Amino acid sequence: MSTTVGGMLILVGETMFLFSMLNFVLVTRIQYYNPGDAYMRQLFPNYLLFLGALAAAALLAMIFVYIFILPSKMVFSQQQAVKDERSPTHNLLMEVHRELQELRGEVDGLRQAIDKV
């Protein structure tokens, strides 16, 4: 199966935030200069001040997501990956762990046999 479609999907997904930022700036200009609603111009006398306040709000949102949301998503995805033996990597790791426990038991048995001699 070709990886072109998957690669394009990842590329579009990774670059879409750039278009979202451009769209956000354009929408803020419409909101700020809306002739029917002068509230934003009264609250923020300069457009750059308005944009800075929105950037500060976005920064606070990013900090909140980084501190609370991302760890929760990571834990959830890791739990889902090992649930019902869905992850081949986790299954191999558990198999190696069992084999290691068996080898440790055999080594302990050999140590006891050597100590008796």
Q: What is the pLDDT along the chain (117 residues), one digit of tens a residue?
A: 577 888 899 999 999 989 999 999 999 999 899 888 888 889 999 999 999 999 999 999 999 999 999 999 999 988 887 888 878 888 899 999 999 999 999 999 999 989 888
Q: 24-31 contacts: CB < 8 A, separation 24 or more?
A: 25/51, 28/54
Query: What is the C-alpha separation between 38 and 29, in angstroms, rounded?
Result: 13
Q: What is the pTM of this model?
A: 0.60
pLDDT of residue 74: 93
Burial class (CB in 10 A: 0-12, 13-18, 19+), 106: exposed
Quick check: 37 and 63 in contact, CB under 8 A? no
Q: What is the pLDDT of residue 89?
A: 86
- The pLDDT value given to residue 112: 92
